[in-house]
Amino acid sequence: MSKLLELDHVTKLYPVGGLFSRQSIKAVNDVSFSLDADKPEIFAIVGESGSGKSTMAKMMLGNEVPNSGRLVFDGTDISTIRNRSQREAFMARVQPVFQNPFEAFNPLTRVDAYLFGTAHRFAGANNQAEKERVCDEALQRVGLSMAEIKGRFSHELSGGQLQRVAVARALIPSPKLIVADEPVSMVDASLRMSIVNLFRSLRDELKVSIIYITHDLATAYYISDRVIIMQKGVVIESGDARAVLDNPTHPYSIALKNAVLPPDPRAASAAIRLRSAAAAG
């Protein structure tokens, strides 16, 4: 069976400490998995803050190069994508949603310029009316509209609005793979459900695969087909999302699942007190 995306023993090192230090950390340590081309799926990556999730996303997008191992997208080693036209062809099929929308959008560029640029380059929209139509269609899918966004800068939108613009932008090229790094961290439960349901319909109707990086175990459970759990660069547990999250076996995965805050003030504040007390010794 042919693969849409394959990670083969991928490792990424970063130097730590000063410029002249020889120490390094393994941000991503020997990670392998693959997504089948003819079985679109939602693949969740959860785990500790600083465990290498975004680093992995950057490598999948060709923005970072592994120190060892290979990442292959649809038969092409991602690290061999060099010139502009190869890059454009790649981006037409693999689209990112970056972690923090406040960092992803340049404060001096109007937000719609990103959308129009994407519509022009990847959706063949050549005139203004066509661009606006394509962008509005994408924005409607995340509960926004061109009318709300037009002419605005990133600091003129709320956090959740900006994050949804980032998701909408990724939809415009009709990609095969979306690498979404914390795409719903700033939206409320209700909108969050509508966005993950959108992911699900992209998978089912348009055969799009989605890498879903999240700290939200509830939505990971709800929409994902498979999940990997990471800690310190290493995949400590992986498999069918429901099976893994119902019955985690690694101590860290178990601790993570148990740390999900209960939706009740008495129980939730007790959980915080307990953890503080344990940390204080």
Ligand X SMILES: Nc1ncnc2c1ncn2[C@@H]1O[C@H](COP(=O)(O)OP(=O)(O)OP(=O)(O)O)[C@@H](O)[C@H]1O
The residue number with the shortest CB distance to ligand X is: 160
Nearer to another protein, 70 or 257 (CB): 257
Instruction: Identify which of 51, 10, 54 has the alpha carbon closest to the alpha carbon of residue 250.
Output: 51
Token code pair at residue 18: 């000063």
Position 160 contacts ligand X (CB under 6 A): yes
CA atoms of 4 and 6, how far apart (whole Å): 7
Q: Given candidates 4, 40, 51, 54, which one binds Mg ion under the rule CB under 5 A? A: 54
Identify which of residues 6 and 216 has a Cβ nearer to ligand X in the complex: 216
- Single out the segment in contact with Mg ion by CB under 5 A; choices: 5-13, 71-79, 99-107, 130-138: 99-107
Q: Is residue 27 a contact residue for ligand X (CB under 6 A)?
A: yes
Closest CA to 30 of 80, 3, 68: 68
**Binding track over 92-111 against ligand X, x by CB under 6 A:** -------x------------
Bridging pattern class, strands 226-231 and 24-36: unpaired
Please give the residue ranges that form the binding site for another protein (CB under 8 A). 14, 16-18, 46-50, 53-54, 99-103, 143, 148, 151, 156, 158-161, 164, 182, 185-194, 197, 215-219, 221-222, 242, 245-246, 255-257, 259-269, 271-273, 275-276, 279
Whether the Cβ atoms of residue 226 and residue 41 lie closer than 8 Å to each other: yes
DSSP character at residue 154: G
Q: CA-to-CA distance for 86 and 102, rounded, in angstroms?
A: 29
Question: Could you give the CA distance from residue 226 to residue 208 in angstroms, rounded to a whole number?
Answer: 15
Cα separation, 24 vs 27, in Å, equals: 9
Of positions 51, 209, 219, 231, contacts ligand X by CB under 6 A: 51
Measured from the CB of residue 156, what is the shortest distance to another protein in angstroms? 8
Binding site for Mg ion (CB under 5 A): 54, 99, 158-159
